[in-house]
Chains A and B, each alone.
Chain A
Amino acid sequence: MSEQVMTRDQVTREHSAAPAQTARSTQANRISGGFVDRARTLRFTWNGKQLEGHPGDTLASALIANGVRLVGRSFKYHRPRGIFSAGSEEPNALVQLRRGAAQEPNTRATTVELFDGLHATSQNHRGSLEHDLMAVNDLLSPFLTAGFYYKTFMWPKSFWEKVYEPAIRASAGLGRLSGEPDPDVYDHGFLHCDLLIIGAGPAGLAAALAAGRAGLRVILADEDFRLGGRLNSETYTVDDMFGADWAARTVAELGSMENVRVMPRTTVYGAFDHGIYGALERKTDHLPSSDGRPRQVLWRVYSRRALLTAGATERSIAFGNNDRPGVMLAGAVRTYVNRFGATPGRRVAVFTNNDDGWRTARDLAARGVEIAAVIDSRGSGPQQTDGLRVERGRRIIDTAGRKGLKSITLDNGARIDADCLAVAGGWSPNVHLTCHMRGRPVWRDDIAAFVPGGDLPPGMVVAGAANGTMTLAAALRDGHEAAGKIAADLGRAPGSGSAPRASDEAFAITPLWHVGESRKRAWIDQQNDVTTKDVRQSHMDGFRAVEHLKRYTTLGMATDQGKTANILGLAVMAEITGRTIPETGTTIFRPPFTPVPIGAFAGRARGKDFRPYRLTPSHKWAAEQGATFVTTGMWLRAQWFARPGEKGWRDSVDREVRMTRSSVGICDVTTLGKIDIQGRDAAEFLNRVYANAFKKLAVGKVRYGLMLREDGFAYDDGTTARLSETHFVMTTTTANAVLVFRNLEFARQCLWPDLDVHLISTTDGWAQFAVAGPNSRALLSKVVDNVDLSNEAFPFMACTECTVFGGTPARLFRISFSGELAYEIAVPARYGDAMIRGLMKAGEEFDVVPYGTEALGVMRIEKGHAAGNEINGQTTAAMLGMGGMVSKKKDSIGSKLSERPEMNREDDLRLVGFHPVDRSMQLNAGAHFLNKGDPADMAHDQGWMTSVAYSPELGHSVGLGFLKRGQDRMGEIVRAYDPVRGKDYEVRVVAPQHIDPEGKRQHA
């Protein structure tokens, strides 16, 4: 026996300054000692009952102090359950926290910091917690074993969705969401450090001290609000001080170092590539309200090295009825007594297979808690019994007490009365983060546990209990030395100071996983109600590999991910199959270590901030006009400009089209991609990226260009203007602006690295407006300085650099998407607002009208121009009627594969126009074409309608679409069939140019 246990006198002297109980306190189980601030009382509500606790409490410790034992119902059998652990591994004490929209289900009471006004309720019961109507499931348990659903609810098949699943969901489950939007805000953040230390227990603190003194930039993160790990739960001595005091002093010293960032309430939940770690910091969860501050911050930590000092988690032992309220992990019982000054029981029994369990008996006895017995499954164990009743070589086979433990029964038939049973099954190192990449834990017989093994995440080192170093002095040394090695590795001289001094406590263990003599159900995974019987069932049904065992029984698949349970399950499976535990192996741990709220992952990317959007230069002006806006790609664009008296969007759009075609209209077309292309080889470059010829485009001219993908399908289109011998301006569609630029850069850097050509995106740099309609020339003549706009001097497809309004730089292009006499005029974006106001003022005498994206679409459909509906990645140049444009005299992107025979069949689809035979009929996009008299099936499919609009000029609906051999079928009547919308009507095949097929207007 080498362990250092402080005497009761010492503990009391140092930590019992405040009286044990205040007058009229609700806290019957509050005892002396611990780190709660008794000077202040916090009031909270549990299932409608007013209770009291203190700062420093968790909800769980406050409930224990108040003598609350029953806190929830189990997932499947609705068994009464109590608090089982004192940390994030808690399987049972899941509660609904807060009220209204802020309500949070499945919160672990063991990690919730108590605050004044906290409101919590139990979950997963019908009726009251004490009298859960669903507890009948427990009586049905012989039928509800593993695989029950798979076998039972197979027939009739149609019953699964409508009957079985809703019934199962209603009876099994966890807490409930509020159904309202989350009222809190969440943030994302980025941190950089030399060394990230995960866990602030003895090893982590010793490491942080050494690394901090060596000058490394250190982040020390711990999920707890009080740092120190087990030092706060035990009665250790470090550097001749009480362990918890040493921890507090060390944290204070670390806090004073500028190169160390101490992050309590921060869970490092995942290890990712290249030293990147995910961490969740709970900023305001311990406060009554966030007050507008971020509730939680999701950090991405970039580290050069990481040190995992995450400690170990205690595990249980499977024996009959081991899930009653009052049956707890032995280390957790010590935590409640030593750290929180709250005892889970008045008469406590200890069941252990190792020396560590004895600490619970000694610590509790030292604090005046009665110890019913220490049941050590080993024949051996400590010889010094300190007057405790000791049952050596005995096992517990059953317990009694419906809503809370009353007694235990040993394998010799002896019954021992106890209201709390502390179970010590040994400790499992928290290896989780070592497995997030390729690590595979390896078994160590001496401590009966898995320790980190295989390939750890690069840059990660493990120390302390997480690495299987289970005793105090060794863990402190391990952390100190690991930090020193890392500092040396990063080129730093080690700081002064040696490892903190302490003694090593006894830590002998003889594994006992389950008590075979038990006839009663013995729980392995309490949260998912998996018993030893389920593991046997899984084995019988052939699911023997651990990964199969997990999925068949749901072992370890609950919110606690089986932190206290997995090892029991695989140990039982190992025993049944006659294999060793390492042969049986473990399932793979994946992020997150503990649950991370979806809201934290979303951060600020919610609602309108889900995706950024950009405003056009005329947005403010358009908003003043009462425009309706629509998202197009990354932009918000005016969709139409309603005027008083207009009853619906069609009224506005029809008017905008009519007024544009009869006089003049203006549309903001800034969103089209603009790419500035310069260099001696610019023309050659364009010739290689466009399917049609570009080399001979004259200066001062614009040309329509068609781009293909390398597989030969149509990709994008637009116009490119030549401003000088070496300077072009390309436009792309709004949707493809980013992608085309990316592909052009690829061609420039990777395919033809020595062409003299440079690219820059100027989409945002220039505000551009379409000015369309018969009066567009007259309007622009008032605006443009010194440019002869006559048809002779500035014909269709001309372009020039010029100035407007007496000196503002501008670019003018005579191009037309509407089919009218039209121009596009561009000015530097900062003049965009002034430009739209100037254009509108200049156009007053022509009754100028602004038009939105809807009128733009109507006019392009009337004119027969292809857009995104037609160039959708499945169509070829030939289908679009542009097969002849693809030059065979040069090599351009996609030209070779566009020659494939299947893409050039004479009987292929062709873009044509459609009119309804019944002119009052509204066409609809998506309808498929059939020859009259043919059955409506895919074998007789003749193509489909891509775009439709009501043409104010023609007075009826018009459409564009792809029809087999469409170019040869003008005048033919085909059937338009749309089973999705229940439509079936006849259409006449016409040319795609519904208006002005000769192009007289745009050439006027």
Chain B
Amino acid sequence: MIINHPLLGPRDMAEFVYKGDVCLIDRPDGMQEGIEAFHDYLHLRDNPAGEHRELWYHEQGDRSWLVVTRNTLTHEITDVALARDVARERGRTR
């Protein structure tokens, strides 16, 4: 697979490390939420046959975390964004 890095252009998959569903960005606040919320955050995932937004890390490159939108049936990649920008969109700051 080839991932079109938003800063570096098309790069081979071999340069990246896969993590998982983009929802791993949505970590609960440990001072506000309980064990159940963390359990759900850590273990519950959708497993779609189709479009999937997922986290990839450019470990053999610039160390950017990326959010890749990939079709799990065809491996077609329709969008790649910097995870930091996605995290901000999802309300994360400091």
Residues of A in contact with B (beta carbons under 8 Å apart): 273-276, 302, 437-438, 455, 458, 681, 710-711, 738, 742, 745-746, 749-755, 890-892, 895-897, 899-900
B79 adjacent to chain A (CB < 8 Å): no
Complex: chain A residue closest to B17, CB-CB: A742
Complex: chain A residue closest to B59, CB-CB: A742
Q: Are A711 and B29 in contact (CB under 8 A)?
A: no
- Among candidates B1, B33, B74, residue contacting A438 with C-beta atoms closer than 8 Å: B74
Residues of B in contact with A (beta carbons under 8 Å apart): 1-2, 17, 19, 24-25, 27-31, 33-35, 38-39, 42, 55, 57, 59, 63-65, 73-77, 82-84, 87-88, 92-94
Q: Are B63 and A745 in contact (CB under 8 A)?
A: yes
A892-B76 Cα distance, complex, nearest whole Å:
37
Q: Are B35 and A897 in contact (CB under 8 A)?
A: yes
Given contacts A750-B25, A753-B87, A896-B34, contact A274 B92 (CB under 8 A): no
B19 to chain A, nearest CB (A): 7
- Among candidates A276, A437, A710, A746, residue contacting B38 with C-beta atoms closer than 8 Å: A710
- Among candidates B59, B73, B87, residue contacting A749 with C-beta atoms closer than 8 Å: B87
Given contacts A302-B2, A458-B76, A710-B42, contact A750 B30 (CB under 8 A): no
> Most B CB atoms within 10 A — which of A746, A899, A900?
A746
Task: List, in ascending order, chain B residues with CB within 8 A of A681's CB.
Answer: 94
Complex: chain B residue closest to A685, CB-CB: B94
A274-B57 Cα distance, complex, nearest whole Å:
19
Complex: chain A residue closest to B24, CB-CB: A750
Complex: chain B residue closest to A302, CB-CB: B2
Task: List, in ascending order, chain B residues with CB within 8 A of A274's CB.
Answer: 1-2, 75, 77
A738-B17 Cα distance, complex, nearest whole Å:
12
B71 to chain A, nearest CB (A): 11
Task: List, in ascending order, chain A residues with CB within 8 A of B42's CB.
Answer: 710-711, 897
Given contacts A438-B74, A746-B57, contact A273 B1 (CB under 8 A): yes
A437-B84 Cα distance, complex, nearest whole Å:
33
Q: Are A900 and B35 in contact (CB under 8 A)?
A: yes
Complex: chain A residue closest to B88, CB-CB: A753
- Among candidates B17, B29, B59, B74, residue contacting A455 with C-beta atoms closer than 8 Å: B74
The 19 listed contacts between A and B (C-beta, < 8 Å) are A273-B2, A274-B2, A274-B77, A438-B73, A738-B59, A742-B57, A749-B83, A750-B25, A750-B55, A750-B87, A752-B92, A752-B94, A753-B84, A753-B92, A754-B88, A755-B94, A896-B28, A896-B35, A897-B38
Q: Are A892 and B30 in contact (CB under 8 A)?
A: yes
Q: Are B1 and A751 in contact (CB under 8 A)?
A: no
Task: List, in ascending order, chain A residues with CB within 8 A of B35's CB.
Answer: 896-897, 899-900
A755-B87 Cα distance, complex, nearest whole Å:
13
Total number of residue pairs linking A and B with CB closer than 8 Å: 82
Given contacts A273-B75, A749-B64, A749-B83, 19 further A-B contacts (CB under 8 A): A276-B1, A437-B74, A710-B27, A710-B38, A710-B42, A738-B59, A745-B63, A746-B65, A749-B84, A750-B24, A750-B55, A750-B87, A750-B92, A751-B27, A752-B94, A754-B93, A754-B94, A891-B30, A896-B30
A890-B30 Cα distance, complex, nearest whole Å:
8
Q: Are B2 and A751 in contact (CB under 8 A)?
A: no
Q: Are A897 and B57 in contact (CB under 8 A)?
A: no
A741-B53 Cα distance, complex, nearest whole Å:
23
Task: List, in ascending order, chain B residues with CB within 8 A of A751's CB.
Answer: 25, 27, 87, 92
A504-B38 Cα distance, complex, nearest whole Å:
70
Complex: chain A residue closest to B65, CB-CB: A749
Q: Are B2 and A753 in contact (CB under 8 A)?
A: no
Task: List, in ascending order, chain A residues with CB within 8 A of B75's CB.
Answer: 273-274
A899-B31 Cα distance, complex, nearest whole Å:
13
A35 to chain B, nearest CB (A): 40
Task: List, in ascending order, chain A residues with CB within 8 A of B17's CB.
Answer: 742
B18 to chain A, nearest CB (A): 11
Complex: chain B residue closest to A895, CB-CB: B30
Task: List, in ascending order, chain A residues with CB within 8 A of B33's CB.
Answer: 896
Task: List, in ascending order, chain B residues with CB within 8 A of A755's CB.
Answer: 94
- Among candidates A276, A458, A746, A896, residue contacting B19 with C-beta atoms closer than 8 Å: A746
Task: List, in ascending order, chain A residues with CB within 8 A of B1's CB.
Answer: 273-274, 276
B55 to chain A, nearest CB (A): 7
A458-B29 Cα distance, complex, nearest whole Å:
43
B34 to chain A, nearest CB (A): 7
> Most B CB atoms within 10 A — which of A438, A749, A755?
A749
B92 to chain A, nearest CB (A): 6
A742-B60 Cα distance, complex, nearest whole Å:
11
Complex: chain A residue closest to B58, CB-CB: A745
Q: Are B65 and A745 in contact (CB under 8 A)?
A: yes
Complex: chain B residue closest to A897, CB-CB: B38
Given contacts A274-B2, A711-B42, A891-B29, contact A750 B94 (CB under 8 A): no
B20 to chain A, nearest CB (A): 11
Complex: chain A residue closest to B19, CB-CB: A746
List 6 tightest A-B contacts by C-beta distance, closest first: A891-B30, A896-B30, A274-B2, A273-B1, A754-B93, A753-B84
A681-B93 Cα distance, complex, nearest whole Å:
13
A749-B63 Cα distance, complex, nearest whole Å:
10
Task: List, in ascending order, chain B residues with CB within 8 A of A742's CB.
Answer: 17, 57, 59
A874 to chain B, nearest CB (A): 17
> Most A CB atoms within 10 A — which of B17, B29, B94?
B94
- Among candidates B39, B55, B73, residue contacting A897 with C-beta atoms closer than 8 Å: B39
Task: List, in ascending order, chain A residues with CB within 8 A of B38's CB.
Answer: 710, 896-897
A892-B75 Cα distance, complex, nearest whole Å:
35
Task: List, in ascending order, chain B residues with CB within 8 A of A896's CB.
Answer: 28, 30, 33-35, 38
A567 to chain B, nearest CB (A): 28
Task: List, in ascending order, chain B residues with CB within 8 A of A749's CB.
Answer: 64-65, 82-84, 87
Task: List, in ascending order, chain A residues with CB within 8 A of B84's CB.
Answer: 749-750, 753
Task: List, in ascending order, chain A residues with CB within 8 A of B76's CB.
Answer: 458
Task: List, in ascending order, chain B residues with CB within 8 A of A890's CB.
Answer: 31
A437-B30 Cα distance, complex, nearest whole Å:
44
A753-B28 Cα distance, complex, nearest whole Å:
15
Q: Are B2 and A750 in contact (CB under 8 A)?
A: no
A274-B73 Cα distance, complex, nearest whole Å:
13
Task: List, in ascending order, chain A residues with CB within 8 A of B83's CB.
Answer: 749-750
A750-B94 Cα distance, complex, nearest whole Å:
10
> Most B CB atoms within 10 A — which of A681, A750, A899?
A750
Complex: chain B residue closest to A899, CB-CB: B35
A458-B74 Cα distance, complex, nearest whole Å:
9
A746-B35 Cα distance, complex, nearest whole Å:
22
Task: List, in ascending order, chain A residues with CB within 8 A of B59's CB.
Answer: 738, 742
Task: List, in ascending order, chain B residues with CB within 8 A of A455's CB.
Answer: 74
Task: List, in ascending order, chain A residues with CB within 8 A of B30's CB.
Answer: 891-892, 895-896
A52 to chain B, nearest CB (A): 48
Task: List, in ascending order, chain A residues with CB within 8 A of B82's CB.
Answer: 749
A191 to chain B, nearest CB (A): 13
A897-B74 Cα distance, complex, nearest whole Å:
37
B73 to chain A, nearest CB (A): 8
A215 to chain B, nearest CB (A): 21
Q: Are A752 and B93 in contact (CB under 8 A)?
A: yes
Complex: chain B residue closest to A745, CB-CB: B63
B37 to chain A, nearest CB (A): 8
Task: List, in ascending order, chain A residues with CB within 8 A of B92's CB.
Answer: 750-754
A752-B65 Cα distance, complex, nearest whole Å:
13
A656-B76 Cα distance, complex, nearest whole Å:
58
A34 to chain B, nearest CB (A): 44
A724 to chain B, nearest CB (A): 21
B88 to chain A, nearest CB (A): 5
Task: List, in ascending order, chain B residues with CB within 8 A of A458's CB.
Answer: 74, 76
A666-B35 Cα distance, complex, nearest whole Å:
46
Task: List, in ascending order, chain B residues with CB within 8 A of A891's CB.
Answer: 29-31
Task: List, in ascending order, chain A residues with CB within 8 A of B87's CB.
Answer: 749-751, 753
A276-B11 Cα distance, complex, nearest whole Å:
12
- Among candidates A750, A753, A897, residue contacting B93 with C-beta atoms closer than 8 Å: A753
Complex: chain B residue closest to A741, CB-CB: B63
B40 to chain A, nearest CB (A): 11
A6 to chain B, nearest CB (A): 48
Task: List, in ascending order, chain B residues with CB within 8 A of A753's CB.
Answer: 84, 87-88, 92-93
